Amino acid sequence: MKLLFLCSRNHWRSPTAEAIYQNDPRVQVRSAGTSSSARIRVSEKLLQWADLVCVMEHTHKRRLREHFPDLYPDLDIEVLDIADDYEFMDPTLIELIRERVEPLLD
């Protein structure tokens, strides 16, 4: 399964999720951001690559609908509902990501 993790700036949350699952044999992972100031910005190519798009907030899902209206109906999107309250690899963030992503992998 190809997982794409999205947050706003691809700074803390989505790179943490990518790091957690980087060496997991069940998945291939990438991360990006929905903001114009993102470190790696989400693209049509990345969205087409992904089997499942995991966004951190409903705002990110809305941005995908606005910026990729033709592609949006075909996307499998899960909202993880993780606020921008954590730094990269924060233990609480890691726990939240695992708690919300693992059921999606079964």
pLDDT of residue 25: 97
Residue 106 pLDDT class (50, 70, 90 cuts): confident
At 53-104, the pLDDT tens digits run: 999 999 999 999 999 999 999 999 999 999 999 999 999 999 999 999 999 9
* 77 burial level (CB within 10 Å; 0-12, 13-18, 19+): middle
Q: How far apart are CA 89 and CA 49, in angstroms?
A: 25
How does DSSP classify residue 51? S
Q: Domains (ranges, CATH) in the chain?
A: 2-97 (3.40.50.2300)
> Model-level pTM?
0.96
At 3-61, the pLDDT tens digits run: 999 999 999 999 999 999 999 999 999 999 999 999 999 999 999 999 999 999 999 99
How does DSSP classify residue 6? E
